[in-house]
Chains A and B, each alone.
Chain A
Amino acid sequence: MSGAIIRVRGLVKRYGGRTALNGIDLDVQRGEFLGLLGPNGAGKTTLLSIITGVRKATAGTVHVQEHDIVAEPDHVHAMIGLVPQEIALYETLTARENLRYFGSMHGLDKSTITERSDALLERAGLKDRADERIGGWSGGMQRRLNLIAALLHRPDVLFLDEPTVGIDVQSRAATWDLLKEIHAGGTTVVYTSHHMEEAERLCTRVVIVDHGQVVGNIEAPGAEGAARLEETFLRITGKALRDN
């Protein structure tokens, strides 16, 4: 056993005749802030979906803290949190109602949910509007709530799929601060992004995925700087447009 909190071996995913993942091996160490970078259609979201148990692999295995995602999904799900790319919240519910629902799914009691919701809403700058229906909120506010909905049960590993897409600079900065704080608290973070600057600022390691394979591994990307990171990324993945 490698001691990794996440261990992926020989992961293959095919959709009909198309291969999305083609034999991925990946270890994520406890306490890492891992960035999964790659062009459009590289297989980042598919990889995240399979590690979190949303989709089933065609072949290969995924273990989270030594629990097989296929054989013991409830064990794994109790330890992880996922922030999907979409705003995965009910628009006609208030922020508190959304958090109460998702907290209940993890078996938390009402008082625990209330206590943790208050703290997280405060931290995300949303407490004043916590009793409003979120349909009328800005994209940035919804994104922040989307994030804290995955933190209520205090997961050991947090997965984020492009959490800062389409939000303004202020919301993005607030999200970065929140993620740094979560990571500093001991949570392992795995996230996908297109932004080199984001990866350079946040990640302790970057893995580059392309054509369904791991094609690059960069330790301490902050030391390289965003420009160097982008240069490395283009050198590995090439400059050809990825329009699919």
Chain B
Amino acid sequence: MVKRILAHIRKEFLLLVRDRGGLALLYLMPVALVTIMAVVQDAPFRDFSDNRIQVLFKDLDGSGVGARVREGLMSAGPFSVLDVSADSAMDAAALRDAVRRGEHQVAVIVPQRASEVLKAASAKAIAKVFTQADSSVAPTPSIDTAVVRVIIDPTVKQAFRGLVNSHLAKVLAEITSDRLLNDMGAQIAALTGTEAPQLKLEEPILRLHQELAGAELSGERVAENSTQHNVPAWTIFAMFFIVVLLAGNMVKERSSGIMTRLLTMPGGTGERVAGRMLTYLLVCISQAVLLVLVGMFILPMIGLAPLDLSSASLLGLLLVTICVGAAATAFGVLVGALSSTQQRSAVFGSTAVVILSAIGGIWVPLYIMPEGMKAIGRLSPLNWSMEAFNSVLLRHGSFGELMPYVLPLIAFAGVCLIVAILAETAISRR
């Protein structure tokens, strides 16, 4: 039996090696897909990280507030400032038009007399405090407010608008609080006759610290970078896409009479299926190795982040690769057993993989889908595969944590194989 299985493996291997189109489908297509998709998705993944967003900046104030806003935009956040304050042609209407046309995504206009207004408002607030303390001080008159205008490209995402608003609000709050504290110190100095106390805080007392508890690529959170998402995603896609070749070869064996010959030889369907499974499992593992190497060494050469395996368990990675490969191969065997023509197996197999990958979070992350689609997506074996890879690569999950994804993959492979063996036996001998 072992000899026959080895003979099946040798034959399948020779058929694969001699099929140039098939080899391209197995190896070149996924390399191209990983590279192209990683480049295409690189910008969206960098949206809130190291991509600089150019801001058109118009300072009509010409004093402290304008300078501080400009400094605040430049010193923190994903912004770079294009200062058009000196360009008289770039008035508010021109800025608005430039953003509307999509030439820039954001324009910020600091109004005239903003510094004066802030100064007056601060003085009024301080005076109010001290008026309540000393009834001899006269009440202050009402004053204007200054509005910093932010003009945003209507096509940009809601999250991007929120980022711009929150960053500017933080800068304006800092300017206002600094002014208030400064004026309060001066007022205290005037009343006590001592040197003005330093009220400004060098370091914030209440601080924010954010950390990733292991990002999830296709789940509820967003991946660290494009490479970390695309390498496992397209590895899974490539593994499942072997259905086209595997099922096609099976159908060809039946239609050419080879199956008829094989049915008159010792050894059964189980041995033939085992030979195919092992061959294509090796193909799947080689695909994974190739794409990992592409992620580690090729993608960085075109300016993308390298695939980071430094803290991933290699044993866990191997286990996941074998389980995903087994599920993909078993699916291919099932499609081959149920298809009556090569054309049908190719069309059904490729369409099924594209649909299962689309709903499974390979193409579009699951978290942006509606709830109903998310529920359907979680039924896709490609989603279990994605989550299993994420568990190893990003969440640094233990073997126990891999099981919720790996066990369904093994069960899926088992069911596919049982149905395939029953179907092939029934179809071949009917």
- A-side residues, CB < 8 A to B, are 49, 52-56, 74, 77-78, 80-82, 84-90, 92-93, 97, 100-102, 104-107, 133, 149-150, 159
Contact = CB atoms under 8 A, between A and B. Distances in A.
A52 B428 CA distance: 13
Given A56-B429, A106-B265, A101 B11 contact: yes
Contacts of A90: 11, 15, 258
Contacts of B257: 84-88
B140 to A, nearest CB: 94
Given A77-B264, A88-B261, A104-B3, A55 B14 contact: no
B387 to A, nearest CB: 38
A104 B260 contact: no
B158 interface: no
B429 A92 contact: no
B258 A92 contact: no
A82 B4 contact: no
B262 interface: yes
A55 B429 CA distance: 4
A67 to B, nearest CB: 13
A81 B263 CA distance: 11
A53 B265 CA distance: 9
B266 interface: yes
B256 interface: yes
**Closest CB pairs A-B (n = 6):** A86-B257, A104-B7, A88-B257, A92-B18, A84-B257, A105-B265
B265 A77 contact: yes
B14 A97 contact: yes
A87 B256 contact: yes
Given A87-B257, A88-B256, A88-B260, A74 B429 contact: no
Given A56-B429, A87-B257, A101-B10, A92 B15 contact: yes
Contacts of A53: 263-264
A104 B264 contact: no
Contacts of A93: 11, 14-15, 18
14 contacts: A49-B260, A54-B428, A55-B429, A55-B430, A74-B266, A74-B267, A77-B266, A87-B257, A92-B19, A93-B18, A101-B7, A101-B10, A104-B6, A106-B265
B253 to A, nearest CB: 9
Contact of B261 (A74, A97, A107, A150): A150
Contacts of B6: 104
Given A93-B14, A105-B266, A56 B261 contact: no
A101 B260 CA distance: 15
A2 to B, nearest CB: 24
Nearest to A97: B14
Contact of B264 (A82, A85, A87, A101): A82
Interface of B: 3-4, 6-7, 10-11, 14-15, 18-19, 256-258, 260-267, 428-430
Counting chain A CB atoms within 10 Å of each CB, which of B258, B267, B429, B430 scores highest? Answer: B258
Contact of B3 (A49, A86, A107): A107
A54 B264 contact: yes
A85 B261 CA distance: 10
B264 A52 contact: yes
B264 A81 contact: yes
Given A92-B14, A93-B11, 17 more contacts: A54-B260, A54-B429, A55-B430, A77-B264, A77-B266, A80-B264, A88-B261, A90-B15, A90-B258, A93-B15, A97-B14, A101-B10, A102-B261, A104-B4, A104-B7, A105-B7, A149-B261
Contacts of B7: 100-101, 104-105
B17 to A, nearest CB: 9
Contacts of B261: 82, 84, 88, 102, 149-150
Nearest to A15: B430
A101 B3 CA distance: 10
B267 to A, nearest CB: 6
A97 to B, nearest CB: 6
A187 B264 CA distance: 17
Contacts of B256: 86-89
Contacts of A92: 14-15, 18-19
A150 B265 CA distance: 10
B68 to A, nearest CB: 74
Given A88-B256, A88-B258, A88-B260, A106 B266 contact: yes
B342 to A, nearest CB: 14
Contact of A89 (B18, B258, B429): B258
Nearest to A133: B18
Contact of A107 (B4, B18, B262, B430): B4
A90 B18 CA distance: 11
A10 B261 CA distance: 25
Nearest to A153: B265
Nearest to A82: B264
Contacts of B266: 74, 77-78, 105-107
Nearest to B257: A86
Nearest to B11: A101
A220 B18 CA distance: 48
A55 B11 CA distance: 25
B425 to A, nearest CB: 10
Nearest to B263: A54
B19 A84 contact: no
A53 B4 CA distance: 19
Contacts of A97: 11, 14
Contacts of A82: 260-261, 264
A112 to B, nearest CB: 12
B124 to A, nearest CB: 89
A55 B430 CA distance: 6
A159 B10 CA distance: 27
Contacts of A81: 264
Contacts of A149: 261
Contacts of A107: 3-4, 266
B4 A105 contact: yes
B260 A56 contact: no
